[in-house]
């Protein structure tokens, strides 16, 4: 498999190089030059296969020839043996009041109780495999709105050849999310709280990757979904969920609580590989830039307002660039110019053809804070079950999607216990705390506060990478 940049000015690379590169040197994101295609017979077989077997089948074309199918299979088996449910991603039917044939795909049974574990448990092993082969090391720099940080730290702690620096927006992640990061004592893990938003943290990371001398000096690598391996790994649960519910040929829709666009992009990639997906539904909280873009064809930045679903408090969704590249007919020069204008002006009008392609494949909806709270309350009242606020956004949006044909699935992105304060406020009940979460309060934290200044962060990264 070969990979090209969305901005068209970076070298074409193989998977092992893309894995370590993260961001392309022209500022773009790597995507396959073509998507592998799965046959109907492959999809039919998936319903009888384990999650690890499906993952190996789906991901082998993306990693070949850098990694053999047997090597990948071993890493996949190790990655998903850490999950707390034998299905890895179990499926549960929602009450009929929400809609007929509506389901939850529970993506949160990994080590840190977040959907990010599904990709990052594998990514940590992919990094270690490639670094061992090269007898080399990397400095991973990432930004998180909450769950990516803890999942990346869990996947990379104590791994040979990796120093990991994770930036999070101070005071804009839940206490559980923060403690999952800051209580890890492994010497190769460094947590940084930034005085700003997630978008600010993400901009700092991109600035460091754009400084080619700094990037080369410290062997920078990425675990955010700017790393293609993250997106590829997430495609797998669309295949397992769809074939379990609808079989190999029936159309199915997915509603995805959306922040940086990586999770729902994985669904789009799965559809391009042959999975019969009807609609992909972008679910936003009040920071609804993507929903507004879908409606108007204009992407326009507004101020980020904190919410009870902080992973969605984003105005610049990095992976949307990958989608725009594909919908534009892989026009790298247009993407480069459009993204440059967007960053300088805060606004981008999509060409009519791109806007049409977006609406042909996607729907979008927004849920207010009041609606999120009510959704959490209603499910508890009727089913005695809990929802985290991000998943509640998705459930509320799909409740209002009356025109969907066939089954539809909400991607449940986090365990409710990670947002116990929000859940308790909505239900009057504290959700049960897994031992791994309950024990966080008794551990000391290790984190450094830094200003929203690239020079300060680069100085810290330089020090950490030389330890």
User: Half-sphere exposure (CA, 13 Å, Cβ side) for 5?
Assistant: 19
pLDDT of residue 467: 60
271 backbone dihedrals φ, ψ, rounded to 5° = -65, -35
Ramachandran region, residue 247 (left: φ > 0; alpha: ψ -120 to 50; beta: rest): left
pLDDT of residue 216: 93
Residue 343 and residue 210: Cα distance in Å, rounded?
Answer: 14
Among 350, 268, 363, 256, CA closest to 312: 256
Domains in the chain with CATH codes: 91-113+231-433 (3.40.50.1100)
The CA-based dihedral angle spanning residues 307, 308, 314, 319, taken in that order and rounded to the nearest 10 degrees: -160
Among 345, 317, 348, CA closest to 202: 317
Residue 275 and residue 277: Cα distance in Å, rounded?
Answer: 6
User: At a CB cut-off of 8 Å and minimum separation 6, what does 297 contact?
Assistant: 349, 350, 352, 355
Letter string b/e over residues 204-219, b meaning 16 or more CB atoms within 10 A of that residue's CB: bbbebbeeeebbeebb
Instruction: Using CB atoms within 10 Å of the CB of residue 128, give its burial: 0 to 12 exposed, 13 to 18 middle, 19+ buried.
Output: middle
User: Half-sphere exposure (CA, 13 Å, Cβ side) for 207?
Assistant: 15
- On the question of a cis peptide bond just before residue 24, with omega within 30 degrees of 0, the verdict is no
Which residue numbers in the chain have pLDDT < 50?
Answer: none
pLDDT of residue 226: 87
Residue 89 and residue 243: Cα distance in Å, rounded?
Answer: 13
The pLDDT tens digits of the residues spanning 75-92 come to: 999 999 999 999 999 999
Cα 40 to the chain's mean position, in Å?
27
**CA dist 135 to 120, 129, 251, 396, Å?**
22, 10, 46, 49
User: Which are the catalytic amino acids?
Assistant: 116
The angle, 0 to 180 degrees and rounded to 10, between the axes of the packed helices 289-296 and 352-361 is 110
Residue 173: how many CB atoms within 10 A of its CB? 25
Residue 250 and residue 429: Cα distance in Å, rounded?
Answer: 39
């Amino acid at each position: 498999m070969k990979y090209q940049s969305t901005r068209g000015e970076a070298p074409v690379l193989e998977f092992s190089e893309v894995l370590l590169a993260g961001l392309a040197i022209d500022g773009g994101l790597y995507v396959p030059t073509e998507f592998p295609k799965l046959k109907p017979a492959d999809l039919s077989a998936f319903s009888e296969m384990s999650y690890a077997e499906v993952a190996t089948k789906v991901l082998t074309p993306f990693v070949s020839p850098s990694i053999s199918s047997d090597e990948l299979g071993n890493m996949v088996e190790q990655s998903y043996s850490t999950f707390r449910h034998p299905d890895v991603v179990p499926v549960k039917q929602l009450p009929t009041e929400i809609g007929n044939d509506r389901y939850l795909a529970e993506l949160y049974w990994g080590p840190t109780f977040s959907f990010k574990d599904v990709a990052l448990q594998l990514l940590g092993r992919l990094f270690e495999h490639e670094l061992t082969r090269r007898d080399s090391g990397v400095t991973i720099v990432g930004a998180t709105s909450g769950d990516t940080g803890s999942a990346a730290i869990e996947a990379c702690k104590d791994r040979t050849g990796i120093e990991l620096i994770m930036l999070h927006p101070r005071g804009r992640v839940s206490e559980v999310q923060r403690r999952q990061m800051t209580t890890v004592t492994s010497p190769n893990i460094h947590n940084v709280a930034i005085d700003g938003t997630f978008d600010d943290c993400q901009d700092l990371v991109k600035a460091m990757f754009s400084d080619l001398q700094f990037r080369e000096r410290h062997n920078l690598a990425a675990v955010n979904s700017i790393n293609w391996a993250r997106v590829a790994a997430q495609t797998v649960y669309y295949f397992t969920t769809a074939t379990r519910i609808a079989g190999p040929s029936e159309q199915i829709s997915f509603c995805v609580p959306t922040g940086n666009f990586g999770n729902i992009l994985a669904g789009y990639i799965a559809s391009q590989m042959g999975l019969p997906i009807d609609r992909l539904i972008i679910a936003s909280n009040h920071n609804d830039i993507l929903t507004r873009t879908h409606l108007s064809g204009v992407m326009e930045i507004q101020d980020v307002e904190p919410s009870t679903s902080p992973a969605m408090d984003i105005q610049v969704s990095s992976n949307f660039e990958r989608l725009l590249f594909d919908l534009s007919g892989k026009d790298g020069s247009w993407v480069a110019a459009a993204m440059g204008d967007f960053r300088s002006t805060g606004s981008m009008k999509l060409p009519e053809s791109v806007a049409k392609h977006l609406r042909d494949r996607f729907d979008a909806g927004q849920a207010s804070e009041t609606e999120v709270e009510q959704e959490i309350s209603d499910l508890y009242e009727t089913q005695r079950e809990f929802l985290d606020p991000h998943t509640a956004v998705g459930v509320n949006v799909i409740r209002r999607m009356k025109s969907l044909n066939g089954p539809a699935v909400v991607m449940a992105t986090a365990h409710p216990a990670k947002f116990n304060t929000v859940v308790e406020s909505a239900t009057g009940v504290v959700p049960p705390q897994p031992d791994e979460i309950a024990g966080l309060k008794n551990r000391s934290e290790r984190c450094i506060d830094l200003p929203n200044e690239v020079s300060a962060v680069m100085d810290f990264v330089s020090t950490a990478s030389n330890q």
